[in-house]
Structure 1
């Protein structure tokens, strides 16, 4: 077999120094060319916020306490956007009732697909869903009215629908361990002790998920369907803002490593929340004074019994139907 001719790699000279100089002159020089609103339009964040992050990075020298913006990125993936405290829950439920009319509502849950451009061939079957036709990685998120993303979970293998992602995510871990903040509310004269998330029709009938009706048969259920679908747009708007703000999410993911893709997505989510807080729109901004978790000491039998009891309460279809019926009368 004849040797194939070797095609040399093309080298395209790029003046990086000149590009950096132009960027500085355009936005950061004392007499810069473009005003601050142009910076925000191009880089999707206020110039002051960018400079704050830059100053924290420049001054970071492994000191304690961590600078403000380092504290945002310090948390592990399971707690990267901050678990809501009791005060956070109280503010969110009050805001959602005032805006949407749903008492006890914690937020809305849904999933977003991110196309995986360079998915390895051996993995394409488990990351491809029929209606998409190409490999995607799913992001499960919970968002509140202010578009703050309180929960994000990305990338479980083989999870090609919202139910599989929910079963693998850590959304209800605190609830199953009986450590979640208390949510006590009344709807139509009935008392409930667990907050809930608005979800679309694919989700199961759990006590902490409130779905709409496929075919409402009377004015009350029709009104509930309209209100529920309107309120659930909070999470859909969050996905739209997230993708519109960071161009990297508008294109197919290029890395071959799942972990690298996760870091990209989680970084975008964190920056998204930072912009929401900087703009002063957050219902309950994340408290950066991280308080170490001191869970109660429980024996193995106690932990197992609590998990079994909370699992039964979580997946109780009767509670779901009773809650939804009470909300239909309450709206």
Structure 2
């Protein structure tokens, strides 16, 4: 199940992962630092797109996921083209911190078309129950804390 990095105003659903407001211990502190950093990066990137493209700023509630995905991908591509075109005017001496290596992430989004069958309604109701399951939220958050610790913690040892 996919999840979103959020701040404390969102409900404790399995799809929303908030930071830890007062982290106790090294694992919790590291998780809070990494979660807040990633969330801020996404917010900044989205803010850049909103300031550059009015279509991103306006509500898109009436569009389907596929159309929104295509619009966002197009805006990102156009933004990158603009940045590439203006790159010669920048005076950055070291750009290595902005360059990334190979990534295992995929930008593909699975899109499923809803049907009006009764079984789809039952499935959707079950999925909503899973999303709102606070125990699942707590397990996911604990797993993420542990995963971050395994990946970035204990570098001294």
The TM-score, its normalising length taken from structure 2, stands at 0.58
Aligned position for 2:152:
none
Count how many residue pairs are aligned between Structure 1 and Structure 2: 118
Shift in alpha-carbon separation, 1:295–1:229, aligned structure 2, 3 A: closer
How far residue 274 of structure 1 moved from its aligned partner, in angstroms, is 2.7
Spell out the pairing of 1:215-294 with structure 2 (5 A cutoff): 215-246=22-53, 262=59, 272-276=75-79, 278=81
Q: Is the 8 A contact 2:49 2:76 kept in 1?
A: no
Give, in whole Å, the separation in 2 of the partners of 1:203 and 1:245. 27
Q: Is the 8 A contact 2:5 2:16 kept in 1?
A: yes
Spell out the pairing of 1:192-231 with structure 2 (5 A cutoff): 194-231=1-38
Give, in whole Å, the separation in 2 of the partners of 1:271 and 1:236. 18
The secondary structure found in structure 2 opposite 1:232 is: helix
The secondary structure found in structure 1 opposite 2:120 is: helix
The secondary structure found in structure 2 opposite 1:210 is: strand
Shift in alpha-carbon separation, 1:302–1:236, aligned structure 2, 3 A: same
Shift in alpha-carbon separation, 1:308–1:262, aligned structure 2, 3 A: closer
Structure 2 residue 140 is matched with structure 1 residue 323 = yes
* Bigger Cα Rg: 1
Say which structure is richer in helix.
2
Relative contact order higher in (CA < 8 Å, ≥ 6 apart): 2
Match of 2:129 among 282, 297, 312: 312
How far residue 330 of structure 1 moved from its aligned partner, in angstroms, is 1.6
Shift in alpha-carbon separation, 1:224–1:284, aligned structure 2, 3 A: closer
Q: Is the 8 A contact 2:5 2:39 kept in 1?
A: yes
CA root-mean-square deviation = 3.8
Give, in whole Å, the separation in 2 of the partners of 1:328 and 1:216. 11
Q: Note the alpha carbon deviations across 1:46-102, whole angstroms, 9 max, x for none.
A: xxxxxxxxxxxxxxxxxxxxxxxxxxxxxxxxxxxxxxxxxxxxxxxxxxxxxxxxx
Give, in whole Å, the separation in 2 of the partners of 1:216 and 1:243. 32
Say which structure is richer in strand.
1
How far residue 238 of structure 1 moved from its aligned partner, in angstroms, is 1.4
Q: Which runs of 5+ in 1 are unaligned?
A: 1-193, 254-260, 288-292
List structure 1 segments (4+ residues) > 4 angstroms apart after TM superposition.
Answer: 268-271, 276-279, 283-287, 293-296
